[in-house]
Amino acid sequence: MTQSELEFVTQHRRHLHQHPELSFQEYETTKHIIELLDELEIPYERPLETGVIAYLAGNGSHTVAFRADIDALPIQEQNDIKFKSSKPNVMHACGHDGHTTALLLFVKRCKALADRGKLPQNVVFIFQPAEETGGGANHLIKAGAFENYSIEAVFGIHVMPFNDEGTVTLLNEEITASATEYRFFLEGQSSHVANKEQGHSCGEGLQHILNQVSTIQQYHLNGLQRNIVHVGRFEAGEAINTVPSHGYLEGTIRTYDTEDLQIVKDQMTKIAQSVQLLFGVNCEVKFEEGYPPTYNDPNLHDEVVNALHQADFKVVELDKPYLFGEDFSFYSQLAPSYFVFVGIRNEEKDWVHGLHTPKLNFDESQLIRVADYYENLLFQYGQEDKS
């Protein structure tokens, strides 16, 4: 670790942290990234209004991609720090300011290598918008952002405040869950409470849905599998003295098994049909497909572990996937991919707060080790060609 690199990551991370932007609104963040790319004279493209794809040609025939997400969350920061978010109710509470900064440092290193004729392979740098909402990765792919690059592998990281500094957790195959949203829409018939039997109550239908959804995990899914069927919000009714004629319920499904996801969706469809039969209330359930499970290609495992060890990380193999969603999952459509979680927990400094919380914070020096990991991967990739 050099002093100049520590100053680099500290400056850029804190600037980004102080100026967070929500998904698909990352205009100033994109401008900040482009300013460095222009300074380094690195070519780039903007397939979407926000976000950047940069490219450097190396000496080898392989092309490897590295991704950072750049958006923030609608959260009011509670940290008492000099670089606290300057925007009300917007905060980098998921560490994307760190992801972006680590990739910027790696960009700078790669340009220095390229200038000396020592960049081992072609590199694509992905500064992706809208990971939190909207699936920015999928938008980039659908926009044809990568059609001109023969990408062979995609790598990415996520900070993890539940794991200590210096550790990295990983898992072959699925490491994060799919994330699917569901919504029930109920339409009944109102009546005055004095004649309640003449109505068709969405309140009654909503109670039924709540009860039945809560039993899906218990009765219809393998008890050894990790799944979440979560109710996030529900409401019904218009007035204190009338039978509710409208109802609504929404939630999320998290699973890393596509068969389990289909079971949940099938049961919810049956629940919606039963509301009509039992209560005379029209009920429709709609699903919004979110992020598929993030799949780590086992063929990349050894290279990833070696590169992490060389960066002085302790590697911890997980037993089971995490049950949150991550849109890095879409990059497996492009090429084999691998995603790891970098520990940032430091109890002495009270950096113990979770992702998506108003007090997330971490030591910028850890970002240098992420750049070390990326560089190690780049130099390892394709070495079998020379053996």
Binding site, by residue number, is 94, 96, 132, 158, 356
Q: Please say whether the dihedral angle defined by the alpha carbons of residues 56, 340, 310 and 365, taken in this order, is positive or negative.
A: positive
Annotated binding-site residues for Mn(2+) read 94, 96, 132, 158, 356
- Closest C-alpha among 196, 362, 188, 190 to residue 278: 188
- The strand pair at 246-255 and 178-187 is best described as antiparallel
Q: Where are the beta strands (DSSP E) in the chain?
A: 44-45, 52-56, 63-69, 122-128, 153-164, 167-170, 173-176, 178-187, 227-236, 246-255, 282-291, 294-296, 314-317, 337-345
Is residue 169 a contact partner of residue 88, using CB atoms and an 8 Å limit?
no
Q: How far apart are CA 122 and CA 115, in angstroms?
A: 13
For 341, half-sphere exposure in the C-beta direction (CA atoms, 13 angstrom radius) is 23
Q: Identify any residues that bridge with 343 across adjacent strands, giving them in sequence order.
A: 160
Three-class secondary structure of residue 37 per DSSP: helix
Q: How far apart are CA 88 and CA 145, in angstroms?
A: 33
Instruction: Name the DSSP letter for residue 383.
Output: G
